[in-house]
Amino acid sequence: MPPQFFSKELQQKIDRLKKRQKSISLGKISFSSPLIMAPLASITSPPWRLLMEDLGAGGTVSELISCHGINYKNEKTLQMLKVDPREKNVGIQLFGEEPEALADAAKIAAEFGAKFIDLNMGCPVRKVVGKGAGAALMQEPSKLPLLFRSIKNVISIPFTIKIRTGWDENNLNAKEIVHIAHEEGIEFVAIHGRTRAEQYRGRANWEMIEELARTSSLPIVGNGDLHTPKSVAKRLEITNCQALMLGRGPLRNPFIFLESLATEDDRDIVFTAKDHWEIIQRLFEYSSEYYDKEKTLAIQMKKHIVWLAAGYPKVSQFRAKVFTTNSIPDFMKMSEDFFATLENRQKQISDEAFLVAGEG
The residues annotated with a catalytic role in the active site are 123
Task: Of 46, 69, 1, 6, give the one whose Cα is nearest residue 282.
Answer: 6
177 touches 166 (CB < 8 A): no
- ∠ at Cα 250 (91, 299), nearest 5°? 85
For residue 1, what pLDDT is reported?
Answer: 39
305 touches 338 (CB < 8 A): no
Q: Which helix H or strand E contains 343, and what residues bound it?
A: none
178 touches 189 (CB < 8 A): yes
Domain positions in the chain: 19-264, 273-342
Q: What's the pLDDT tens digit per position in 14-60?
A: 999 999 999 999 999 999 999 999 999 999 999 999 999 999 999 99
For residue 4, what pLDDT is reported?
Answer: 52
For residue 323, what pLDDT is reported?
Answer: 95
Going by CATH, does the domain composed of 19-264 fall within 3.60.21.10? no
Q: The pTM is what?
A: 0.95
Find all residues with CB under 8 Å of 137, minimum gap 6, and list them: 97, 119, 121, 143, 144, 147
Q: Which helix H or strand E contains 349, and what residues bound it?
A: none
Q: Checking phi first, is residue 25 left (phi over 0); if not, alpha (psi -120 to 50) or beta? A: beta
Residue 39's CB is within 10 A of a number of other CB atoms, namely 30
The DSSP result for 242-284, as a single string, is SEEEE-SHHHH-TTHHHHTT--GGGTT----HHHHHHHHHHHH
For residue 352, what pLDDT is reported?
Answer: 66
Q: What string of pLDDT tens digits covers the 360 residues of the chain?
A: 344 579 999 999 999 999 999 999 999 999 999 999 999 999 999 999 999 999 999 999 999 999 999 999 999 999 999 999 999 999 999 999 999 999 999 999 999 999 999 999 999 999 999 999 999 999 999 999 999 999 999 999 999 999 999 999 999 999 999 999 999 999 999 999 999 999 989 999 999 999 999 999 999 999 999 999 999 999 999 999 999 999 999 999 999 999 999 999 999 999 999 999 999 999 999 999 999 999 999 999 999 999 999 999 999 999 999 999 999 999 999 999 999 999 888 888 776 666 655 555
Task: Of 53, 39, 52, 40, give the one whose Cα is nearest residue 88.
Answer: 53
Q: What's the pLDDT tens digit per position in 219-264?
A: 999 999 999 999 999 999 999 999 999 999 999 999 999 999 999 9
